[in-house]
Structure 1
Amino acid sequence: MKSLVTAIQQRDGRALQAMSNSVPLQQAQPVREHTAQVFNELFKQLRATFPASMANFKDQEDLNEFKRQWTKAFAENNIRTIDQINAGMKIARQQENPFLPAPGQFIQWCKQGESLAVGLPDEDQLYELYREYCKMRGWREMKWPSNACYWMVTKIYSEMRSKSLTDSEVIKLCAKELRSMTARIKSGETIPAPVKQIPQLYIPTSKERSLEHLASIRKKLNLNPKSI
């Protein structure tokens, strides 16, 4: 604290900058170390699942660069738990391609695997549910796979209508809603049942009411329609 006061009093810009930079670096260090530990677990599983691809690294420098890029991608996309890694590896083992996936592809598998693990659809399946809802809405009741699907699809539909979203924007919204719902379910939240939607009733305007009233008077008085 004394050094901070001194730096302010002396208007030492370099000292203040060094202090401000030191805080985020200290806070970020444990995050990087934890992400590296998660990657080490992944590396073991990747070697077992893709032995041929892992053997293609020429030297230790190649392996170090591979580790740097994947660890950075994990930190940027909040992949920090063994459960996330296991979810991604479950999908990775289902692939017919014998080559290592790109870090972005594996991160997508991690997030998709998390959703599947709690009983939610993947992004493509959620988008198809949304499209089905768009077709059915207003003339027959949708059969929802789960309460969570109801809330996600109806929210996506509402956002699409209110913001005039394009298909590509809706697809991104599907991914966002899946991540949000996955987090809610993993936290132990109970997702409520669908709300019975009340059909929208036709309410005539003031002008229509006036015309209907005039028509009623003509009919009662047996008058010519043009007489009033």
Structure 2
Amino acid sequence: MAERRIPLKHEYAQDGKVIYGVDEAGRGPLAGPVYAACVVLDPADVIEGLADSKQLSEKKRISLADQIKQRARAWAIASASVEEIDRLNILQASLLAMQRAVVSLRPISNALVLVDGNHAPRLDCEVQTVIRGDSLVAEISAASILAKTARDIEMLRLHEAYPVYGFDRHKGYPTKAHLEAIRLHGITDIHRRSFAPCVGQSVSGARTTSFINQKEA
């Protein structure tokens, strides 16, 4: 799939803006944390094949994630825990994860943060939302890929602790198999008790993770 970029990116570049692309992964699942990533690409090192992570195969996502980590000017991945999701709601927890990822990179004065969708976290720099940004803006596509692959890795780890739920297959989404596992076994401490069918059942909180990498100027 060819790389796609929003035309305005070139205008931003002419204005001297440095683009920070932001996206999240994991708003819909019944279990596990929500992840977000922020990516600053190198204009002189174009990564071919960037696209919305949902449109890519798992193999392609993993390959691109490795390239992004090696070739991007800067990247960060952060998450919000199940406890935070239940306390804040999933939208606010997603924005919190985004905020953590961006703040980790300490955006420079001429930064422009482009966020997928129509909600953006509070930041001390210029921020714009972009509908379908994960398909239109290369930096957001890259962030989408990092967030998705990082969350998938976490769900595979959680599968080892809770194998009867099949997190390795559905990553916590409300598939028929997952709903049946909940019916048979109840919920765990990494299920989101604010999400149906988990409402009303007692669970404990989960942790928050954060990973940062930035190349020296």
Q: TM-score, normalised by structure 2?
A: 0.26
Greater strand percent: which structure? 2
Q: TM-score, normalised by structure 1?
A: 0.25
Larger Rg: 1
